[in-house]
Amino acid sequence: MKYIYIKTWGCQMNEYDSSLMASLLQKKNQYLITLNPEQADILILNTCSIREKAQEKVFHQLGRWRKIKNKNSEVIIAVGGCVATQEGEEIYKRANYVDIIFGTQTLHRLPEMISEVEKKRKLSIDISFPKLEKFDHSLEIKKTGYTAAISIMEGCNKYCSFCVVPYTRGNEISRPCDDILFEISVLAEKGVREINLLGQNVNAYQGPTFNGKICFFSELIRLVSEIDGIDRIRFTTSNPLEFTDDIIEVYKDTPKLVSFLHLPVQSGSNRILHLMKRSYTIEDYQSIVEKLIIARPNIQISSDFIVGFPGETETDFQQTMTFIKNINFDMSFSFIYSNRPGTPSSEMEDNLDLKEKKKRLYILQNRINLQTMLWSRKMFQSIQSILVEGVSNKNVMELYGRTENNRIVTFHGSPKIIGQFVDLRIKKVHTHTLKGELF
């Protein structure tokens, strides 16, 4: 009996990919999952290249794994994901103890690649882009709870000046609508109650249907909402450029779609948005939010921000701060700009020192945290519908679930209600977490 250990960095798409790898290796090679790398016969690193120095992070991890391989030369080390797609054989040149290098679109070939290495004991590499081939195996993923993430498309065509995704995941390609609906139906039969639709640019989805037509994202959401057993729908991540009116209309007539939206803006300065090649303005973004509020008055918005982009002035930063206040964002993922080799922004002059970037990030995050707390306080004494996901990690005497607006709520209740939706009255409020009691 052999064991596999998978270490995953990055976004929910990477988490989805790692789940697919684990299921395939368990089914096809009869491997077992271990949480201890020292026990593993196969070590798999699923990488992310979105942040600066991603490559060095990979080689630091591989250096730690080399010590394991030195003790047992039969151990197989595999590197996949975005860094593997970018670097390819260069990884082997720096770490010649790596056995397998696979890409974001070839992870389904991992069982065969491992078998090949076991027989020939030489490098196996495949970082090609066979489009949607990996999704032929998506039903292998085992249900692990009452929520599930489903990848509905891959890649991105936007080529923002700071982003590596188009180079590591390829151009946008949508899965067939019927494949997605069938996969979700199977998960619903297994007890999944909440679905999160995934894509690098999920609202650009245009999937073919069985009758040769195209299913747009708004239609897909409505179709998912009709599947028995699915009572809550989320999606991640959207681009304002393609957040069209037909998607906004879904918020009017599809109550299963949560009243919470993550819509990355990146900056509140039109000048910086232009340098980022985001192809929309803050006025465009504001218009989307205004329409959403009309369609769903209680909706809350979270976003992404890049601080210290090349050329960002104090005026640009203050415009971002004003924009954050005006939109009243609930939460955000915010980072200091990372220079990614090969992207257009890497050729731009970086005019800010790290100290100033950190200062601006601190100011921005403090403002967002204040707004998050104010949004949370509005929930005090309110009744919230919660999908009970399990026993709390911090207190085995409590259960936990998640609100529509992504707050974790803990409360006392019988384990018999795990997997069900219940109503809770919110009795205590923290910035990101809540305490409730059954209503």
Distance in angstroms (rounded) separating the CA atoms of residues 134 and 108: 5
User: What is the DSSP code (8-state) at residue 385?
Assistant: E
* Burial label, 283 (beta-carbon count in 10 A; 0-12, 13-18, 19+): exposed
Check whether 163 is labelled as a binding-site residue: yes
- Two tokens, residue 97: 């103890």
Helix (H) or strand (E) segment spanning residue 413:
none
- Report the relative pairing of strands 206-208 and 214-216 from DSSP bridges: antiparallel
Contact 308, 269 (CB under 8 A): no
**CA 42 from centre of chain:** 25
Sheet with 194-198, strands from edge to edge, namely: 147-151, 194-198, 232-236
Listed in sequence order, the residues at least 6 apart from 432 whose beta carbon sits closer than 8 Å to its beta carbon are 331, 372, 376, 407, 408
Listed in sequence order, the residues at least 6 apart from 255 whose beta carbon sits closer than 8 Å to its beta carbon are none
- Could you count the other beta carbons within 10 Å of the beta carbon of residue 171? 12
Check whether 177 is labelled as a binding-site residue: no
HSE-CB at 71 with a 13 A cutoff on CA atoms is 9
3-state secondary structure 248-279: HHHHHHCCCECCEEECCCECCCHHHHHHCCCC
Alpha helices in 155-240 (DSSP H): 165-169, 177-189, 217-225
Distance in angstroms (rounded) separating the CA atoms of residues 312 and 205: 32
Check whether 215 is labelled as a binding-site residue: no
HSE-CB at 118 with a 13 A cutoff on CA atoms is 10
Residue 156, amino acid: C
- Two tokens, residue 81: 């994901």
Specify the 3-state DSSP secondary structure of 18.
helix
Which parts are annotated binding residues?
Answer: 11, 48, 82, 156, 160, 163
Which parts are annotated binding residues for [4Fe-4S] cluster?
Answer: 11, 48, 82, 156, 160, 163
